[in-house]
Structure 1
Amino acid sequence: MLISRNLKWSVIFFYTWKSLSYYFTLAVTVFLLHDYFSVWKLHIPFTAISALSTALAIFLGFKTSNAYERWWEARQIWGNLVNYSRAWARQVITMIIPENTTQTQSVKELQYRLIYRHIAFVHALRVYLRKKHYYNKQWQEEIYEEPNQYSDALAFLSPEEYKLFTNKQNPPNYLIELQGEDLRLGYDQGWLSDYRFAKLDETLVEFNNIQGKSERIKNTPFLRQYSFFSRVFVFIHASLLPFVFVEELRWASIPISVIISFVFLALDLIGERSEDPFENRFEDVPLTALSLTIETNLKEQWGDPQFPSKKHATNGIVL
C-alpha cells in the first residue's frame, strides 16, 4: 500500500513509457505533416474533441470510483480479521476453563493450538489470496512484490498438520476445520459449556465469512468491459488530440497533447491498478503488515514476547 504522498517519477515512467512514446511520436508526426508537408492538412475542430473528453472523464471517474470501492471493501474485510482475531484469542483464553487443576496443562495446550493455529490461518489466507510465491524487484527496488510462501505458517503448526495443510486445495479452510475439531474436543472434555462453545464457533464462522468475502473479490474481476473500453477510449482520445491543437499551437501542440493524454492515461491506470487489491502489488491492501499485526497482538495476548519484526515502509510502500 502506498502511504507516501509522492510517487517517484521512475515508477510512473515504468508503467507509462510505452503509451507516452506513442503519444509523443504521433504528436511529432502530425506536426511535421501539417507544417512541413503539403500532403496533409487535416485538422479537427476543438468542439468535436471536447464532447469526447467530457464523456471519457465521466467514464474514467466511474471506473476509478468503483475500483476504489473494491479496494476499500478489501481493506475493511481485513480490518475485521484483525478485530475478530483479537476477540478469538480473548475468547480462547477466558472461555475454555478446566474442570479441575489436573486439567490445567491440557487446557493450556489446547488454547495454545487454537491461538497459534489461527496465526497460521492468517498467514495462509494472505498467501492463498496472493498466490504468488516469488519475489521480484526492478528499477532500483522501486517496484515491489512481497515473497509469499506457505512456509510462513510452519512455525505455528505441528509437522503433521503442516504436511496435510500444504496438500490441500484450500489450506486456510482446512485450518478452520481443525479449529472446529479442537473446539469439539474441548466441549467433549467439559471445558466448554454449550453457550461458550456456540460463541467460539460463531467467531470461527466469521473467519469463514472473511475468507469468503476475500475470495469473492479475488475471483470476481472488475467488469472486463469497463477495463477494455477505457483503454480503447483513452487510445482514441490521445490519437485525436494532436489534430485538434496543431492548427493553432503548431509545435506547442506536441507537449500539450502529450500532457493531456497523460492525464487521462493516469486516471485509467489508477482504476486498473486499484480494482484487484490482492494481487501482491505495491498499491494493494498491505496483507503482510496486517498479518504481522495480528501475529503480534495474539502473541502479546498469550504472553509470548517473541514478536515478529515490524513491517516498516520502504520508499513510501507498506506491503
Structure 2
Amino acid sequence: MTLPEQSPEIARPVASTPHADAGETRRGVIAALAAYLLWGFLPILFRLLEAAGAVLIVAERTVWSLVLLAGVLFVVKGFPEVRSLLADWRKMRIIALSALLLVGNWLLYVWAVETGQVLEASFGYFINPLVNVAIGMIFLGERQNRLQTIAIVIAAIAILIQAAGLGNVPYVALGLAFSFGFYGFIRKTAQAGPATGLFAETLVVAPFAMAYIVFDIATNGPGAHADPTMMLLLVLTGPATAVPLLLFAYGVRRLRLTTIGMFQYLAPSIQFLVAILLFGEQLNSLRLLSFVLIWLSLVVFSYDSFRQRRARLA
C-alpha cells in the first residue's frame, strides 16, 4: 500500500507532551492495524458479490465511496479544499490519470477474486513496495544501495519462479503491483489530501460508473439491485473502500514510517491465508518457493529501511 499524503481534513495536529504522544501513538497503531485488517479481508466481500460481476461491483464501489466521502468532507468542513482542487486544472489532469489507474487496479483486483486468483493478488501486493523502489530508480533517477538491490534481485527471481508455478507470466500480480505503484507515484504530484484526492478521483469516474449501472439495469434488469442482501453488500463496498483509507491516514499521521512499513505486509498476508484456508486455492511447491523468496526480499528491504532510519537518528 502506498502512503497517502497528510491532509488537514483528516490529520489534525497532535499534542506534544509525552503522555499525549503515547496516547496518540496507541491510537495510531489501532487505526493502522484496523485499516490493514479491513484490506486483508476485503476479498471475502468481493467473493460474496461474485454474481454481480466485476464491472458492476467497481461501478457501485465508486458511487458509494463518493457518497461516504462527501459525508466525511461535510462533517470535517473539507469542501473548500475540494473546490480549490477542482479549480486547479493542472492538479485535476493528474487526478484524472490517477483515477484511471485506481479504477483499473480495482477492476483487476475484483476480477482476480472472482476468478480464484487471490493468491496471485496477494503476491502482487507483497511486491508492491519493491515496485515503488523500481519506479523511483527508473523515473526519478534514485540510486539504490546494495541491500535494496539484493532485495529487488530476489523479488525478480521470485516473480520468475511464480511464473513457472503458474505456467505463465503472473499478469495479475504484476498488474496490481504496477498499477498501484504508478497510482501512488502520480498521485503524489497532485499534492491533494487522502480524502480530498479520493473524492476528486471518484468524482471524475462517477458519471461513467452511474452510466454503467443504468445501462446494466436497462439491459439485464434489476439483478443484484432487486436482492436486499446483494444490494446491502454493494452499498458496503463504499465504506470498505473509504474507511480503511481514512483509518490509515489517521494512523500514518501518528506513527513513524518504519512502523507503517511493517504493517503494510499484514494485508497481503491475510489475503494469502484467506485464499488457502477459505477459498481453497492450491499452493504448489514452486509457488510456495516464490512466496518464501518474496518474503525474504521484504525482510532484506525492511531491515535496510530500519538500518537507514537508525543511522539518520544517530
Structure with the greater relative contact order (CA < 8 A, sep ≥ 6): 1 or 2? 2
Common fold by TM > 0.5: no
Q: Which TM-score tier does this pair reach, normalised by the shorter chain? A: 0.3 to 0.5
Normalization by structure 2: what TM-score?
0.36
Larger Rg: 1
Normalization by structure 1: what TM-score?
0.35
- Of Structure 1 and Structure 2, the greater helix share is in 2
